[in-house]
Chain A
């Protein structure tokens, strides 16, 4: 069974930084695009960022452009989300998710981790 395990969440002050990690196993990580999706407490789902299977393409939702950076290390089966200039509205449970299609991404999120909670508060 595919495993995705997020870590790195915590409490940070507005303007601060956090680095989230997602450890992937039981599938060929280097073959799949990956995503970060977040869910504010009691709210719905919001796609945050995409990275292609080889790391050559990255895309972000407008509200995090210029502040968040997605990256991956295919040698370590790890997905990263570097979050800078954090705002209270970034408070959410952050999930990493595997695309349903190998190679060129489809954009549906097949497997999800359990999430890591980021709280931005003074």
Chain B
């Protein structure tokens, strides 16, 4: 299953809201997650299921979607939110998990 994220890069000002998108090449039902990765750090799970926030994730992060279309919304960007965001599907069994190519969120 191929995941396509859009856009590749997004320039946004702090305080603004933003929505990142990910499309799957076939349905993955609700077996979907979003990760954040900052330079030099390991990825961090943000959202799975696809709207359940992981432990400690602020409420400004929300996820939605099912089937083939998913989105991650950050309601009011903080300085620490500028990073690369990856989507991932875990629908296939036996597992053949795949990630999107990433969306870089940069400061405008």
Contacts and interface: CB of A to CB of B under 8 A. Distances in A.
Q: Do A and B come from one complex?
A: yes
Interface of A: 37, 44-47, 50, 59, 61-62, 95, 100, 105-115
Interface stretch (B10-18, B68-76, B94-102): B94-102
B48 interface: yes
Interface residues of B, number: 24
A100 B45 contact: yes
Contacts, number: 61
Chain B: interface secondary structure? loop
Interface of B: 31, 33, 35, 37, 42-45, 48-49, 54-55, 86, 88, 90, 94-102
The secondary structure that dominates the A interface is strand
B98 A100 contact: no
A108 B88 contact: yes
